[in-house]
Structure 1
Amino acid sequence: MRPLPEESQWQLLTEAGLHEDFQAMWIGSDDLDEIAARLGLDTTGAFECDLATALRWHGAGSHPSVFWFGPHAPGWTVVLMVAGGLPLFELPDGRVFTFRYLRATGEFHAVPGLYDAAGLDDLDLKDRHGDESDIDPHLVAVGRLTGRFVDRAWLAERRTLCRG
């Protein structure tokens, strides 16, 4: 794996339609049923779609809590809030990276679990609150630790869209 992605992670996500708050988790497990149950997701009526479709579906006035989740890399699941807020999710080994960027205030919340990880010294990771410019280095860090960066193929992959 390359140490840096070919394209800006945050720019790819915003180009895909993330123009509101950005809340996501990368969870060190690929047991989708367990993750859905622990998050309290309502998979009745869930369907598979890419990120652009998920964002359009929310824009059509859907349920206030909407999740798009599925495989990210071997052993890792991504959970992205399309609408609403992320619930608390923890694993005993701490392999959960939680992102929160609130566009209205321009505030990016630090990502617990990244700051002591090896191999990230070249990235400007702030372990406190920051702004939108702090998102991309943190996304790069998560990509390195999970073994996969966000790219155009990742954006096009079908994951499960459901209510919380």
Structure 2
Amino acid sequence: MTSRNKLDQWSYLAERGLADTFECSWVETPDYRAVVTKLRVEEETLACDLNQARRWYQPYAEEIVVWVGEQSPGWVTMFTVSGLFPWPAIDSLLRPGGRVYHLSYYADEVSEPVYFDGSEWAEDISADHWDRPRQEGAGLTGSSDLAREMNFYLAALAYRTGGFIDDTWFTTPGLLCRIPDGAWPRA
């Protein structure tokens, strides 16, 4: 058996049927349960891993469902399983000195990652974020332009947040959260 290229993260999503849309945030915070509390969804959760959560995957649905789990020590992942994640909820997670990254892909278009640097949102992420994935060829990994672009961004985020999308990413315990209507204004 050959080992899998760790930079080919997009294929993990595609193999599990999660590549029609992609919206994910990485939040610098020590506890994913604190994130769930700030999302105002304590009564609307189900303990599961992302493999189990993908049963609720419905691209472009009205209902917003997010899986929240630990990415690595000090980082939490919020993967949107259904609907479009409301930006006011993400803004509620921001804290002085803390970092947040957000990457999305909808309707055949990848939005470059945006970044909260501890004081403000920025679309221009500093060049040093891209050095390692560029050196390792992350942008050359994948069978399509979309796969190569997503693998490049996902590698940059993995190096910053300490976790790649791999089998462990899908088996990490977390909470599936249904964000109730009216909990957050629609962006």
User: Normalising by structure 1, what TM-score?
Assistant: 0.78
Verify the 8 A CA contact 1:26 1:78 in the aligned structure 2: yes
**What is the identity percentage for the equivalent residue pairs of Structure 1 and Structure 2?**
30
CA RMSD of aligned residues (A): 2.6
CA distance in 1, matches of 2:79, 2:131: 27
Q: Which structure is higher in helix share?
A: 2
Q: Relative contact order (alpha carbons < 8 A, sep ≥ 6): 1 or 2 greater? A: 1
| Matching of residue 93 in structure 1 with residue 97 in structure 2 | yes
Shift of 1:24: 0.6
Paired residues for 1:68-79 under 5 Å: 68-79=67-78
Verify the 8 A CA contact 2:66 2:80 in the aligned structure 1: yes
Partner residue in 2 for 1:155:
170
Paired residues for 1:107-122 under 5 Å: 107-113=109-115, 115-116=125-126, 118=128, 120-122=130-132
Paired residues for 1:1-164 under 5 Å: 6-40=6-40, 42-58=41-57, 64-88=63-87, 89=90, 90-93=94-97, 95-102=99-106, 104=107, 106-113=108-115, 115-116=125-126, 118=128, 120-123=130-133, 132=146, 133-164=148-179
CA distance in 1, matches of 2:156, 2:104: 15
Shift of 1:115: 2.6
User: How many positions carry a matched residue from both structures?
Assistant: 151
Structure 1 residue runs of 4 or more that deviate by more than 3 Å after TM superposition: 122-126
CA distance in 2, matches of 1:87, 1:118: 29
CA distance in 2, matches of 1:35, 1:99: 18
Verify the 8 A CA contact 1:69 1:77 in the aligned structure 2: yes
Verify the 8 A CA contact 1:9 1:150 in the aligned structure 2: yes
Q: Which has the larger radius of gyration?
A: 2
User: Normalising by structure 2, what TM-score?
Assistant: 0.70
Verify the 8 A CA contact 2:30 2:74 in the aligned structure 1: yes
Instruction: Letter of the 1:12 partner, please give it.
Output: Y
CA distance in 2, matches of 1:58, 1:22: 10
Verify the 8 A CA contact 1:18 1:55 in the aligned structure 2: yes
Verify the 8 A CA contact 1:39 1:87 in the aligned structure 2: no
Instruction: Letter of the 1:11 partner, please give it.
Output: S
* Cα shift readout 1:47-89 (whole Å, capped 9, x = no counterpart): 2212222111346xx9811010011100000001101112222
Alpha-carbon distance change, 87 to 75 in structure 1, aligned in 2, over 3 angstroms? same
Where structure 1 has 5 or more consecutive residues not aligned to the other structure, the ranges are none
Instruction: Letter of the 1:115 partner, please give it.
Output: I
